[in-house]
Amino acid sequence: MSGAGNQQERSSIGTIPVPLGSFLSGFALGEASFRIVCRKRDSEPKGLPHLGGVLNVSQVDRAPLDLFSEALGCGTFRRAGSGGWYLEVNRLSDLQHAVVPFFERFPLAGTKAEDFRLWRDAIALLSKPGRISDQDYCTVLALRERMNRGGKRRYRMDGILRDYTPNSMPEQAWG
């Protein structure tokens, strides 16, 4: 698995056998989360939190996570406090070129499918070349608010927008 992060070695999503892809999609239905994360960084313009995307899959048994990483051709592993494992994919290029096509080919069902659609739209905005525009930043935050049934968040959209000058964000974000 040494080259999992190397795009040249990444397996093609189109070559994943249907039984394996279907298994992994079903596994993700119960064990994965699509998240847009906010992290404070001094280097960000206007002091706004940096936005990034993450696919996180957790399990005590690492074997299914290894299958996922091999199929996607990306991701990193870390130990969970409970003795389990996390597979995380957080490079925008991996999210855009491996994770999104995987779940488009092997769709999810129910609320997780809606979370994926919102997340996919946010990833597309975050993946645009150059710095993210104020409008796209607000759109990503709005998509994030609709994901994961609102979820527990350290940085919520209303707090982020409240803490930064209205002149730095589009008017519609403040209305």
Specify the pLDDT at position 49.
74
What is the pTM assigned to this prediction?
Answer: 0.79
Specify the pLDDT at position 175.
36
- Residue 97 per-residue DSSP state: I
The listed CATH number (2.60.40.10, 3.30.230.10, 3.10.28.10, 3.50.50.60) that belongs to domain 13-174: 3.10.28.10
Backbone angle region of 49, left / alpha / beta, with phi > 0 → left and psi within -120 to 50 → alpha: beta
Specify the pLDDT at position 148.
77
Q: What is the mean pLDDT of each run of 10 residues along the chain (175 residues)?
A: 43 91 96 87 64 94 96 95 93 96 97 96 94 87 82 54 51 41
Q: How many CB atoms lie within 10 A of CB 118?
A: 19
Domain map of the chain by residue range?
Answer: 13-174
